[in-house]
Amino acid sequence: MNRTAMRASQKDFENAMNQVKLLKKDPGNEVKLKLYALYKQATEGPCNMPKPGVFDLISKAKWDAWNALGSLPKEAARQNYVDLVSSLSPSLESSSQVEPGTDRKSTGFETLVVTSEDGITKIMFNRPTKKNAINTEMYHEIMRALKAASKDDSIITVLTGNGDYYSSGNDLTNFTDIPPGGVEEKAKNNAVLLREFVGCFIDFPKPLIAVVNGPAVGISVTLLGLFDAVYASDRATFHTPFSHLGQSPEGCSSYTFPKIMSPAKATEMLIFGKKLTAGEACAQGLVTEVFPDSTFQKEVWTRLKAFAKLPPNAVRISKEVIRKREREKLHAVNAEECNVLQGRWLSDECTNAVVNFLSRKSKL
Ligand SMILES: CCCC/C=C/CC(=O)SCCNC(=O)CCNC(=O)[C@H](O)C(C)(C)COP(=O)(O)OP(=O)(O)OC[C@H]1O[C@@H](n2cnc3c(N)ncnc32)[C@H](O)[C@@H]1OP(=O)(O)O
């Protein structure tokens, strides 16, 4: 579209607004902010709102985007909005043309690739450009995938990551989407979500195996204490920087880690944030076996395929016998950890850590 020759009519603008509602693929926060800013500029003119406080991350990002448009005339903003929406259309068309039978369409997952063959259901975290950080959608999809795997005809279930990371843990942008009830409601919702999520791991009825293809952070590490076997590439590292983030242990790690690796070693990880190599994690019992990265996939999958040929009922019953006497305790620990975390998420220590990461002032 020739921007100088054409001026979008009100009708074009309204069509574009409707098109946005029909987007099948999330265009990402950056584009959504641009759309918001252009919409406000086109309908209300230059930014006329008071600047939000630094901790009100979403409102501040919106305000920044709108304010950045300065005195752009309403007509130009309307045109830019229409242009931006039409530039999103090709990607929309191509995403809706995915052939039936491809992973995405057949599984119905946006953040995971879930496959099932040779008696193994594989749940692969699939946000490699975000180091497989677990956003709210992914928490829900993992629960859905686990529930389906618990009922399918596979013998074992495997979690792994796509790309260079296993997972960088909780997606820190999960803290920015503040509901009308404010940060208290957000913290409560996150605690409810976390409790349900960890509960699915506690109750999972088949052997759960982690194939840790690269670094693991936060909740992706703590959950390993609830797995039945953990195989790691020698590229993997294990890091739970809870104190650095103003947070506290989750995933039942306050109970499982001291049992697995001794209280003192657990303290180094969970309180002081010591990052372990794969070899160290293996020596401390968190990892079952470490493989050279060059042969990792081949060796691990050969082994898992052999496990998956074992008699299904015996495998399931053995898992139940092992988990049974711990289940109640694990649920109680999970509830307590979520409760404590709900308070931590409201603390200045946590808010500052999240703001620093999101404003690119800090990394682990
Ligand atoms: C609701 C339940 C809550 C349960 C609570 C659980 C607690 C935890 O899990 S605590 C652990 C939280 N995780 C982190 O603090 C990790 C933060 N990420 C980093 O420090 C670094 O990204 C990294 C060390 C993992 C990787 O650094 P590297 O330089 O190699 O890559 P980046 O350029 O930083 O990352 C690429 C891309 O991915 C985004 N990203 C990575 N991890 C996260 C994350 N955890 N949350 C949000 N976004 C993440 C990063 O911002 C980059 O995005 P852009 O390309 O858009 O800039």
For 200-238, write each residue's pLDDT tens digit. 999 999 999 999 999 999 999 999 999 999 999 999 999
HSE-CB of 177 using CA atoms within 13 angstroms = 10
- What is the three-class DSSP state of 20? helix
| Residue 270 in tokens | 């969970």
Q: Taking Cα atoms as reference points, which of 74, 61, 84 lies closest to residue 1?
A: 84
357 and 265, same structural domain? Answer: yes
CATH code at position 354? 3.90.226.10
**Closest Cα to atom 56 of ligand 1:** 130
166 within a domain of the structure (yes/no): yes
Model confidence pLDDT, tens digit, residues 22-61: 777 778 777 888 899 999 999 999 999 888 877 778 888 8
Spatial distance between the Cα atoms of 77 and 68, rounded to a whole number of angstroms: 12
pLDDT class of 103 with cuts at 50, 70, 90: very low
Instruction: Identify whether 104 is part of a domain.
Output: no
Q: How far is the CA of 221 from the centre of ligand 1 (A)?
A: 14
- Ligand 1 center to 124 CA (angstroms): 18
Measured CA to CA, the distance from residue 218 to residue 226 in angstroms comes to 14
Query: From atom 11 of ligand 1, which residue's Cα is the shortest distance away?
Result: 218
What pLDDT shows up at residue 299?
98
Evaluate if residue 75 carries a pLDDT over 60: yes
Residue 106 lies in a domain: no
Q: 173: buried, middle or exposed (CB in 10 Å: 19+, 13-18, 0-12)? A: middle
On whether both 151 and 193 belong to a single domain, the answer is yes
Same domain, 227 and 277: yes
Q: What is the pLDDT of residues 281-337, one digit of tens each?
A: 999 999 999 999 999 999 999 999 999 999 999 999 999 999 999 999 999 999 999
Q: For residue 203, is it within any domain?
A: yes
Q: Tell the burial category of 321 from Cβ atoms under 10 Å away from its Cβ (0-12, 13-18, 19+).
A: exposed
Is the domain of 159 the same as that of 290? yes
Residue 140 CA to ligand 1 center (angstroms) comes to 19
Locate the ligand 1 atom nearest the alpha carbon of residue 360 and give its number: 51
Q: Hey, whose CA ends up nearest to atom 33 of ligand 1?
A: 130
Can you give the pLDDT at residue 30?
A: 75
pLDDT of residue 196: 98
pLDDT confidence tier of residue 99, bands split at 50, 70 and 90: very low
Mean pLDDT of the chain: 89
- 209 half-sphere exposure, CB direction, 13 A CA radius: 22
Confidence band of 79 (pLDDT split at 50, 70, 90): confident
% of the chain residues with pLDDT over 70: 92
My answer on whether 82 and 181 are in the same domain is no
- Quick check: is 233 in a domain? yes
Q: Is the pLDDT of residue 360 over 90?
A: no
Report the separation in Å between the CA atom of 359 and the middle of ligand 1, taken as the mean of its atom positions: 12
302 and 264 part of one domain: yes
- What's the CA gap between 364 and 244, in Å, rounded? 8
Interval 140-165 mean pLDDT: 97
Q: Are residues 117 and 83 in the same domain?
A: no
Ligand 1 pocket test, pick from 31, 130, 196 with the greatest ligand atom count within 8 Å of Cβ, gives 130
Cβ contact 119:301 at 8 Å:
no
- Number of Cβ within 10 Å of residue 242's Cβ equals 23
Query: Considering only CA atoms, which residue is closest to atom 54 of ligand 1?
Result: 130
Ligand 1 site residues (CB inside 6 A) read 130-131, 133, 168-174, 190, 193-194, 217-219, 245, 247, 250, 357, 363-364
The ligand 1 atom nearest the CA atom of 242: 10
| 101 pLDDT above the threshold of 50 | no
- How many CB atoms lie under 10 A from the CB of residue 338? 21
Give the residue, by CA position, lying nearest to ligand 1 atom 45. Answer: 171
Q: Determine which of 92-101, 154-163, 329-338, 339-348 has the lowest per-residue pLDDT on average.
A: 92-101
- Please report whether residue 128 resides in a domain: yes
CATH code at position 58: 1.20.80.10
With beta carbons less than 8 A apart as the criterion, state whether 55 and 355 touch.
Answer: yes
Same domain, yes or no: 247 and 116: yes
Would you say residue 101 lies in a domain? no
d(CA 304, CA 299): 9
Find where tokens 């999240």 sit: 354
Take residue 78 and report the two structure tokens written for it. 């309307």
**16 and 147 co-located in one domain:** no
On whether both 58 and 194 belong to a single domain, the answer is no
Residue 159 structural domain: 112-362
To test the pocket of ligand 1, the residue of 26, 111, 129, 131 to mutate (highest count of ligand atoms within 8 Å of its CB) is 131
Q: Residue 98 domain-assigned?
A: no
pTM check: above 0.80: no
Number of domains in the chain: 2
Residue 148 has pLDDT above 90, yes or no: yes
Do 41 and 73 sit in the same domain of this protein?
yes
Residue 4: the pLDDT is: 36
Q: How confident is the model at residue 363 (pLDDT cuts 50, 70, 90)?
A: low
How far is the centre of ligand 1, averaged over its atoms, from the C-alpha of 134 (Å)? 9
Closest residue by Cα to atom 51, ligand 1, is 130
Task: Find out whether 145 and 208 touch, Cβ atoms under 8 Å.
Answer: no
How many whole angstroms from 171 Cα to the centroid of ligand 1?
6
List the one residue out of 280, 285, 278, 239 whose CA is nearest residue 259. 285
Instruction: Please tell me the predicted confidence (pLDDT) of residue 107.
Output: 62
Which of 168, 219, 235, 352 should be mutated for ligand 1, with most atoms under 8 A from CB?
168
The amino acid that residue 25 corresponds to is: K
Percent of the chain residues past pLDDT 90, beyond the cut: 70
- Do 121 and 266 lie in one domain? The reply is yes
- Last residue in a domain, options 33, 54, 88: 88
Last residue of a domain, one of 72, 88, 104: 88
Mean pLDDT along residues 263-277: 98
pLDDT over 60 at 100, yes or no: no
